[in-house]
């Protein structure tokens, strides 16, 4: 006859911490870019006031919540404090999220492989992905950013150097 054993799911402590740190940094960088970059400003102008979106992982993974309070005012709300979420981008499991945030898969590739789903409007989701792509280009060296985004943009050297410095400064200091 056969034998039986139970298996508990366990946890992915290091991956969870890495994802939480990356979301914290990227969240602050999105707020910084919303003040420093014209393309990100334009994307947020298209959102209504009070628009809130989140990016997180199932089942109860780390997430980041971003809210547009008013024109030109974007806030990073951390893990969220119970606000109504207008757009929810959810990654189905921590492994997939880790693959995205460690640049083994781009967001577009992960979407093609059905690793995430969207609860909300598709145009808004596309806008959020464009914002994240711009932020990743600012934060990462070209070699790594090309893995993370679908197409590496052609920017002037001024935008690359000055824009990147401003985004990093605002992200770290929070101004």
Partner 1 sequence: MNTNVTPFVFPSKIGAGTRAMAHLPYDLSGFGAVRPMVVCLESVDTDGELNPLEDAFRGSGLTFGVYAMEATPTMETVREAWTHYHEGGFDAVIAVGGAVVMDVAKCLAVAGANTPDLLREMLNTGGTVSKTVPFAWVPTLDAMCGDSAPQACLGGKQINGEALVPNLIAIDPRMLSSRDPYTMAEAGLGALATALCLYEEGEIHGLIRPYVQLSVRQVMAGLLPLMGPQKTPSKGALRWFPKEKGREEEVAYVTAMAVAGALEPLAKKSLTFSLANALAPLSRVSTEVLAGVLLPWLLNHVHEQKERELSSMLMALGDMEHLCATPDPQRTGAALALLQEKINRIWLGTGARLPRTLKKAGIPRERLLECSQGVAEAIEGWHAHEIEALLLTAYEGRRVHPEMLKNGFMQEVV
Q: Is 15 in the site for partner 1 (CB under 8 A)?
A: yes
Count interface residues toward partner 1 (CB under 8 A).
Answer: 26
14 binds partner 1 (CB under 8 A): no
Q: Determine the Cα–Cα distance for residues 58 and 56; give it in Å rounded to an integer.
A: 7
Q: How far is the CB of 118 from partner 1 (least distance, A)?
A: 14
What are the angstrom distances between the C-alpha of 99 and each of 5, 74, 89, 109, 148? Answer: 30, 27, 16, 11, 10
108 interacts with partner 1 by CB under 8 A? no
Instruction: Mark the segment that binds partner 1 (CB under 8 A) among 23-31, 87-95, 143-151, 158-166.
Output: 87-95
Q: Which stretch binds partner 1 (CB under 8 A): 44-52, 54-62, 78-86, 145-153?
A: 54-62
Tell me how far apart the alpha carbons of residues 95 and 11 are, in angstroms, rounded to a whole number.
Answer: 11
- Distant-in-sequence, close-in-space partners of 32: CB < 8 Å, separation ≥ 6: 166, 167, 168, 169, 170, 171
Chain contacts with partner 1 (rule: CB under 8 A): 1-12, 15-16, 58-60, 92-96, 99, 113-115
């Amino acid at each position: 006859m056969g034998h039986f054993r139970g298996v508990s799911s366990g946890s992915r402590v290091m991956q969870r911490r890495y994802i939480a740190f990356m979301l914290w940094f990227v969240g602050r960088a999105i707020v910084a870019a919303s003040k420093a970059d014209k393309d990100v400003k334009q994307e947020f102008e298209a959102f209504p006031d009070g628009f809130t979106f989140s990016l997180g992982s199932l089942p109860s993974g780390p997430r980041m919540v971003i809210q547009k309070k008013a024109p030109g005012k974007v806030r990073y709300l951390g893990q969220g404090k119970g606000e109504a979420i207008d757009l929810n981008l959810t990654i189905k499991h921590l492994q997939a999220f880790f693959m995205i945030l460690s640049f083994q898969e781009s967001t577009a590739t992960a979407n093609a492989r059905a690793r995430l789903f969207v609860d909300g409007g598709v145009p808004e989701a596309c806008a959020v992905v464009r914002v994240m792509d711009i932020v990743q280009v600012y934060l990462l060296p070209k070699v790594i950013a090309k893995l993370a985004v679908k197409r590496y943009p052609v920017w002037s050297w001024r935008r690359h150097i000055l824009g990147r410095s401003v985004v990093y400064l605002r992200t770290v200091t929070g101004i």
